[in-house]
Chains A and B, each alone.
Chain A
Amino acid sequence: MAHALTLARWKAALDMPGCPVCRLAQEAGRDFLIHVLREGKAHAEVYERIREAGGFCEDHTRILLRLGAERLGDRRSLARLYGWLLADFAPDVSANAPCPACEAAEAYERASLLALRDLLHPITGDASLRKTFEAGPGLCQPHFVAGASVLEDTESLRALTAVQARAWDTLSRDLKEYLRKHDYRFSREPKTPAEENSWIRAVATISGTLGEEKGESD
């Protein structure tokens, strides 16, 4: 059975637009950065992991730069960490470990998909959460494939594919309307908000979402 905290996070993610697993993974990566910078970096083991990875990847470094002062305390912590990294840097030794924040995000992504398996279970699953999920936008394509691979019973797989089919049909209808209304013959017809952003949602559905969204900083 999924951890209560994971289910609570799922519930919060389902209230937001977009793929909930993308959102949970983004939050896990960002939370990792905040916790490491506030407290974790002083632990030898944690620092060693960061040093072996040569710091954080480009994407998580961008997130670090955008995190507001209220999230990071002050920026002394960041200055200390990067001061240590520069002092320990050896140009002839390449980074031999993945970005620790990416690792944390991937670990939470796996946990979220296992929680999805539990919540979709026809007997032991959480009925209200399942209902919210069924009414939502479904998963992005990469997470749908990953999620379907961990489901153990056919009933859950049927439920997931039904949610996905409905979500993708709705998105496709909006996107086709958006494209149709670009034709000079129909360009005077007003576009609904769902049609206006349908092309952005389609990109996020097929390619997944990057862990850096407007409105998440500061």
Chain B
Amino acid sequence: MTRASGVMAKRATANRLEALGRPDLLLVSFLKQALRRPGCSLCRVLRDADLHYLRVFLREGKDDGRMLLRLLGSWGLCARHANGLVQLEPPERGDGLGTGTLYDWLLDYARRRLEDLRWDLGTDDRAGSPQWRRRRNPRQRMGRLLRRLARTTPCPACEAQQRYTEYLVEGFVRALEPASGLPALQEMYLASEGLCLPHWQVVLGLRPSSGVHELITRKQHEVVASLKAALEADLDRGVSREVREGGPKQEPGFARALAAAAGDTTWQPPER
């Protein structure tokens, strides 16, 4: 290790320790709200952030020049987030004007790219074309034209969520550390339904202090035991009979076990 890199490493450690004592208060507030509600609190904060992103995108974000350039590379949002826009705009704005305007623009762009492709295909018939030298490898040429219609950058909403996930999980671990001076958050976590399995793994991957590691492991083992008990109870009660008799369509044990195993991080409209 060189002297400069050693100094930088020491500075990074110092910054990290300093940061441990100063959790983001807004994030702590979000976490407290989420810990009072059922389900994985990290999933809930992420869902809320996802909805917030879509709202801001709909109101202002999509009209920003740099964002428009990005959307040309990603061809709009991914299917999951685009579906979110379609579900969100009518109840909030009364119509699909914002999303429609954006996708009209993207559709025009796609139609122009398609016209280029068709023009190129058409010129194959024209013997003696002055551009014949460029037409020796039609497969390669088609590949190049098709790539202009393919996604080259990821969905901006997915990228934002990815960045926020890292920030949120680190903030959560930091807030549980005794150095943060937030004992109430530890208590709230212990009283909550715990984390989903994917978030449990991500949190452990951050290598928290041994005290916090132990706290999380103990709590999460309780969560898994409770989920197993809920599934057993569902089986004992005879789910098929309940379903036949028109009982509750969704068993709480199933719903909890499935959400805990997969996580639930993207905003979806509430069931009606």
Could you list which residues of chain A lie within 8 angstroms of chain B, going by C-beta atoms? 54-62, 64-65, 68-69, 73-76, 78-80, 82-83, 85-87, 89, 91-92, 94-95, 141-142, 144-145, 148-149, 154, 157-158, 161-162, 164-165, 168-169, 171-172, 175-176, 178-179, 182, 198-200, 202-210, 212, 218
Contacts and interface: CB of A to CB of B under 8 A. Distances in A.
Nearest to A140: B79
Contacts, number: 188
Instruction: Determine which residue in B146, B200, B268 has the highest number of CB atoms from chain A within 10 A of its CB, and name it.
Output: B146
A199 B261 contact: no
Interface of B: 75-80, 82-83, 85-86, 95-97, 99-101, 103-104, 106-108, 110-111, 114-115, 117-118, 121, 124, 138, 142-143, 146, 149-151, 197-198, 200-201, 204-205, 217, 220, 224, 227-228, 231-232, 234-235, 239-240, 243-244, 249-251, 253-255, 257-259, 261-266, 268
Given A82-B257, A82-B258, A205 B118 contact: no
A189 to B, nearest CB: 15
A131 to B, nearest CB: 20
A54 B146 CA distance: 36
B79 A179 contact: no
A198 B83 contact: no
Nearest to A146: B150
Contacts of A208: 79
23 contacts: A61-B258, A61-B259, A75-B243, A78-B258, A79-B254, A82-B261, A83-B228, A83-B231, A85-B261, A86-B224, A94-B205, A142-B75, A148-B117, A162-B118, A168-B114, A175-B103, A199-B97, A199-B100, A199-B103, A199-B104, A203-B103, A207-B83, A218-B249
Contacts of A161: 114, 117-118, 121
B221 to A, nearest CB: 9
Contacts of B264: 58, 61
A202 B100 contact: yes
Contacts of A209: 79, 83
Nearest to B110: A141
Instruction: Determine which residue in B77, B142, B258 has the highest number of CB atoms from chain A within 10 A of its CB, and name it.
Output: B258
